[in-house]
Structure 1
Amino acid sequence: MITDVMNTRNKALSRAARLVLTAGMAAGLAACAPGFKADVSRFATSLPAPQGQTFAVVADDPALAGGLEFSLYSDYVAAELAELGYVETENPEAANLLVRFDYGVDNGRERVRTTGYGRDPFFDPWGRFGGFGYRRAYAFGFYDPFLAGPEVRSYTVYTSDIDLKIDNTTTGERLFEGQAQAVSRTNRLQVLVPNLVDAIFTDFPGRSGETLRITIREDGKSVRPID
């Protein structure tokens, strides 16, 4: 009996530690960006109001089942549902609700951005004032800084997404389907998945058939557009 209690307690502490670690990584990325934006689509039928119904989170992709990475990300889903009032169980066969969860990120694609001009018309890269005779490069002839043209930069963007499905285990009825998708400069799932989960659970379950943009602010709070 004492061993069972200790195992349960250790598992809870382990989950809490994983959530804190990943939340810290997400916060670190947020500090470098104005806000994480995700497009969220949700469809719901007769999802029951939380009254202590049990749920189990399982991998929608069999290849993810049993993995430590999936366990980490599914903890975020479980935490959101528990906060709503549902009760997690580790036995999918005994659960009232079966939550199917999937996540991923693509290989990225290149984007090109044109910003301003290639060099400052008044200051060189060494911080010195440009002009005739001051720098050797400007000593002879006429230099028009605007002929240098705009500065073109390329960078990689990645599309990440999560999918969430909730079924009634008794009837087999699909109660909820939702997807959150984002385009970002990082492909780190440890940062992306927590933000996507936060987005899909903003005003959960939402209006059926609605697609909207959710912004996760730097302080970790989610904001949906005003109707």
Structure 2
Amino acid sequence: MKRGFPLMFVALLAILLAGCSTPTIRSEVTAFHEWPAQLADKSFTFERSNAQNNDLEYRNYENLVRAELLRLGFTDASAAAKAALKVNLAYRITDRDVRVVEPVVVNPGGWGPPYGPFYGPRWPYRYYDPFWYDPFWYSPPVVSYSESNYRLYHRQLQVGITRAADGKKLYDVTVVSEGRSPSLAAVMPYMVKSAFADFPGRSGVPHQVTMEFKDDPAPKNIKP
């Protein structure tokens, strides 16, 4: 059997599957909390600094957190005089350069140049039989190296919920994700959903949340 064909077929299949895969956002979520078993008043308001009051990006992310809290049965008391809970959030994005060097098999062993594929040498004084091959004429695999360079972005979101009456922290969650998309606005909806995907969850136990990245504004060769 011609051993080159299976290897070439597997490599081609891997490339096709990689091109058809759906991009995902994978976040590591860690929550610390002392969430009461019964909480009658779940009204909340956001605690902002003066700079955050006039920050449109912050207000957009605040709206994302508000939507998740409302989904969980909390009550928005922003317009009211008093709220039982205060919510704060912080976020940041940093980047670093990444260099990856990977081995690449140039000759998978199914070719024997300069004699031709699979069949051994074509001696001028010998009748060439396409059904004959000599395994000893297979050339050994030739390994080369492929280098790729890209920028990796580290995104972090922190959300805290505090009891307004005495300032006791009830819930503090941190979401961390890494990817090649430089747009924090594009990934923030997924990070916010990840923060409350298992609310309140197990305190102090990190877990991963994976979501499909449906609206990727980055080029197709950029991974979220």
Whether the TM-score (by the shorter chain) exceeds 0.5 is yes
CA contact (8 A) 1:38 1:214 kept: yes
Deviations 1:89-135 (A, max 9, x none): 224861111001111101x11112223439x559xxxxxxxx76xxx
Ranges in structure 1 where 5+ consecutive residues have no aligned partner: 1-30, 123-130, 133-143, 221-227
Q: Helix, strand or coil: the match of 1:206?
A: coil
In the alignment, what sits opposite 2:134? Answer: none
In the alignment, what sits opposite 1:128? Answer: none
CA 1:219–1:67 in 2, change beyond 3 Å: closer, same or farther? Answer: closer
- Over the aligned positions, Cα root-mean-square deviation in angstroms equals 3.2
In the alignment, what sits opposite 1:180? Answer: 175
1:65 aligns with 2:61: no
Provide the aligned length of Structure 1 versus Structure 2: 172
CA contact (8 A) 2:52 2:59 kept: no
CA 1:174–1:186 in 2, change beyond 3 Å: closer, same or farther? Answer: same
Q: Percent identity?
A: 23
Amino acid at match of 1:211: P
Which has the larger helix fraction? Answer: 1
In the alignment, what sits opposite 1:113? Answer: 100
What's the offset of the Cα at 1:197?
0.6
- Structure showing greater radius of gyration is 2
CA 1:85–1:194 in 2, change beyond 3 Å: closer, same or farther? Answer: same
The alignment's TM-score, normalised by the length of structure 2, stands at 0.65
What's the offset of the Cα at 1:46?
3.1
For 1:1-227, list aligned pairs within 5 A.
34-47=23-36, 49=38, 51=40, 53-59=42-48, 62-91=50-79, 94-106=82-94, 108-117=95-104, 146=142, 149-218=144-213
CA 1:53–1:179 in 2, change beyond 3 Å: closer, same or farther? Answer: same
In the alignment, what sits opposite 1:139? Answer: none
Return the alpha-carbon distance in structure 2 between the equivalents of residues 185 and 62 of structure 1: 32
Return the alpha-carbon distance in structure 1 between the equivalents of residues 213 and 203 of structure 2: 28
The 10-residue stretch of structure 1 (203-212 or 64-73) with the greater mean CA deviation from structure 2: 64-73
CA contact (8 A) 2:23 2:214 kept: no
CA contact (8 A) 2:35 2:200 kept: no
CA 1:92–1:43 in 2, change beyond 3 Å: closer, same or farther? Answer: farther
CA 1:172–1:93 in 2, change beyond 3 Å: closer, same or farther? Answer: farther
The alignment's TM-score, normalised by the length of structure 1, stands at 0.64
Return the alpha-carbon distance in structure 2 between the equivalents of residues 32 and 101 of structure 1: 33
CA 1:71–1:165 in 2, change beyond 3 Å: closer, same or farther? Answer: same
